[in-house]
Amino acid sequence: MNIPTVLDNLIAMVVVLLILSLVVQSIQSGLKKLFKIKSRQIEDSLVDLFEQVLNKAPTRTANILEQSPMLRIFAFWSKHPSELADPKVKLLYDAVLKKFGELGRVAQSGKGILDSLAKDDLLKVLEKVGPESLVPSILANLQKVAIEINGVEQAMESIDPARLTGDASAKFTALQGRLAPLLNDFKAIVTGTTIEPQILIGDVIGLRELKLNDAVAILGELQAKVEKDLGVARAIATAQGAATTAASGLTDASVPVLEHLAEGFNAVAICLTKLKTEFDSAIAPLRSKLKETESWFDTVMQSFSERYARGMKTWAIVISFIVVVLLNANFFNIYQKISTNEALRNSLVQGQARPKELQQTTDSAAVATGTPPGLQAAVDAYASFGFKPLSLPQVHKWATGKPTWNGFFHTVEILLGWILMTLLLSVGAPFWEDTLESLFGLKNIINASSETKNVEKKSGTGQPKT
């Protein structure tokens, strides 16, 4: 057999492999969308993520039912990983899934679905979830902050701005302006001294951005100004025991007023210090959990990608074997038929563009229920070349036939042909499409080389002998 014929046999065989690979791909695509396998795998990964963030022991085991979202569909007695996880993990998981559903991540059935999950999307959803899901003690910690907030307000109210003069009055107004945003924003999530139960992480994150440094700096300037004026007023009061007026307008009668102001500002300073301490203490755990979520996200999603790829590879092999058996795609029989039937071989080689059309049909269609797109077209293409699917009479004849050694060896040969074909199909349609292009490229090179030799030989036939 010459090289072009062998190459045509290979091309024809690859065309068959590509057509059958498209059948497998179409079925696999339909199953993924029908059973929402990717969404289920992402949901499992969310449980893993929250277990890491909340420092809870992982509940996932080597049990194949727990590892495979698709098997859990059929094993109705198995439990979802969230149901096996710590109650706090399940609480956070349910809250996040519910919020994604409210944001429109739902299937036509109305059930939540996560075909993709970005880190920013998850963090935004977490902002809409109660902070106690991440830090159970957060409300108690914020309760302490509420008490200190009231302390700051009372200390500020004890100061009479009318008793401040000139520069001190302006600085006091600036201090009120710095504290007002923090006090007002905190009052939005508190009633009296009680934290609202529906407080969201986003509310706390907003408070986190507010800084007390400017307020503390202005307060320090006010304290220095009052202490300076108090020193002058005391000096006047002790000067010759007589009432005297300084250039600043201070008199010995200013001493009690300034002492009261100094005490008031000292009280404000103490309250601000306590507020900053309690505030940092309350926010630190939440900030830590949010950072953990960000840092663990990539690691967990990488594990998701690996598990998903392995799962799809396994199911590709399973689906390939089922397709091979149902279509009776015995590798040895198909290759023998191609190599001995020139008309069939030429039909496969010359019609090699058809698999690409089937690929486009499969990729462009979306599947919800029913027969996967492109499946019937690919099966019809396989049958159009004379390959016949496995029939019930054939199965019945094999099952009821009298056992013989020849029958045994024939069965083994069929099984080996099916297994070999299954392994070849499991590599996927893209691989066989690339292989087909390479083989046609090789064929073109061989044809071009052959034409060149023919031209050289023809041009030299008429040369005279020397």
In the chain, the N- to C-terminal Cα span, in Å, equals 38
**Given CA atoms 29, 31, 35, 40 in this order, what sign does their dihedral have?**
negative
- In the block, tokens 């399940």 appear at 90
Alpha-carbon span 432 to 424, nearest angstrom = 9
pLDDT score, position 418: 92
- List CB contacts of 54: < 8 A, sequence separation 6 or more: 86, 88, 89, 92, 134, 289
Chain centroid to CA 149: how far? 39
Q: Provide the pLDDT for residue 466.
A: 46
What pLDDT is attached to residue 180? Answer: 82
* Predicted pLDDT at 451: 65
Count of Cβ atoms closer than 10 Å to residue 34 Cβ: 14
Report the relative pairing of strands 190-191 and 194-195 from DSSP bridges: antiparallel
Q: Rounded to the nearest 5 degrees, what angle is found at the Cα of 113, between the Cα atoms of 112 and 118?
A: 120
Could you tell me which of 22, 27, 13 has the C-alpha nearest to residue 358?
A: 22
DSSP state of 193: T
CA separation, residue 28 to residues 65, 113, 114, 244, 434 (Å): 19, 19, 18, 98, 20
Q: What is the mean pLDDT of each run of 10 residues along the chain (466 residues)?
A: 79 88 86 83 88 82 66 72 85 87 77 82 83 81 82 87 81 85 74 66 66 81 84 74 54 75 88 85 84 88 84 88 88 88 83 52 41 59 69 72 78 91 90 88 80 57 51
Distance in angstroms (rounded) separating the CA atoms of residues 142 and 266? 24
Using a cut of 0.75, tell me whether the model's pTM lies above it: no
123: left (phi over 0), alpha (psi -120 to 50) or beta: alpha
Amino acid identity for residue 219 in this structure: L
Query: Is residue 142 a contact partner of residue 204, using CB atoms and an 8 Å limit?
Result: yes
Q: Residue 384 has what pLDDT?
A: 66
